Amino acid sequence: MSEKELKEADAHIHREIKKWSEIKGENSWTMFKVIAELVDGFESLNKLDPCISIFGSARTKPDDHYYKLATEIAAKCTEEGFGVITGGGPGIMEAANKGAYLSGGLSVGLNIDLPFEQFNNPYIDPSKILHHRYFFVRKVMFVKYAQAFVVCPGGFGTLDELFEVLTLIQTNKISRVPVILVGTEYWSGLKQWIHDVMLSQFCNISLKDLDLMPITNDPAEVVSIIRNFYDGSDRIHSIKPNYEL
């Protein structure tokens, strides 16, 4: 080795190893909290009828167009015989629970403990509210029991939920179920980017993956997509939990 390489090797050997500033010995016991939260969720949701999960921003105001649209979509879903699951908070979540509640349907809220912007909206049956500490457990509950996903405009949390579902469907980890984006002005640019960049430029997805997320502004079309998926002429899709653990 050259003198330069020897010096570099010596520096590599004697580099300072980073240390944790803090690590708690009880971290391993967190698993029991996770298990308890999973058990509580499964036991509660197993007793309920099939539902549609509706995602969207907690910041959407009651006078917003998409708040009213989410309310109407939820009402139509309950008229179709499904319950509605949301994150249980304000905004689009409140709108969807409101639509289900006012239509006399099943209205479920999967609440998450956050330092801001999250509280139970008043349109959920108190016995149908689940309180979650962990986001990943909450997403398990969203996904396992939903027979379709309706995604209204939202922020990072909504995108996280959307792409989690698409990934699980794409990789066959859950059943293929409808994933419907509501709001052409909001979602069309994203879908175009997915087509132009992810698919055409980098080939990171398949063309058929684009079929997983139709976009519409019409509440009747949302319900029609779900109805045709389960009651179409082929009848190959059955209503059941999306996976077994």
Go through the domains of the chain in sequence order and give each one's CATH number. Answer: 30-227 (3.40.50.450)
- pLDDT for residue 30: 85
CA–CA dist 95, 65 (Å, integer): 11
Model confidence at 140, in pLDDT bands (50, 70, 90)? Answer: very high
- pLDDT for residue 39: 95
Residue 53 or 233, more confident: 53
Q: What is the pLDDT of residues 25-37, one digit of tens each?
A: 667 778 899 999 9
Tell me what the mean pLDDT of segment 138-157 comes to. Answer: 95
- pLDDT for residue 130: 94
CA–CA dist 112, 110 (Å, integer): 7
Q: What is the pLDDT of residues 43-96, one digit of tens each?
A: 999 999 999 999 999 999 999 999 999 999 999 999 999 999 999 999 999 999
CA–CA dist 120, 102 (Å, integer): 17
- Return the structure tokens found at 128: 């149908």
CB-count burial class (<10 Å; 0-12, 13-18, 19+) for 89 = buried
As a whole-number percent, the residues of the chain with pLDDT over 90 amount to 76
Q: In what order do the strands lie in the sheet with 51-55?
A: 129-132, 107-112, 83-86, 51-55, 146-151, 179-182, 215-216
Q: Considering only 116-120, 127-131, 146-150, 179-183, which range has the smallest mean pLDDT?
A: 116-120
Q: Considering only 2-6, 41-45, 228-232, which range has the smallest mean pLDDT?
A: 2-6
- pLDDT for residue 7: 63
* pTM for this predicted structure: 0.89
The overall average pLDDT reported for the chain is 91
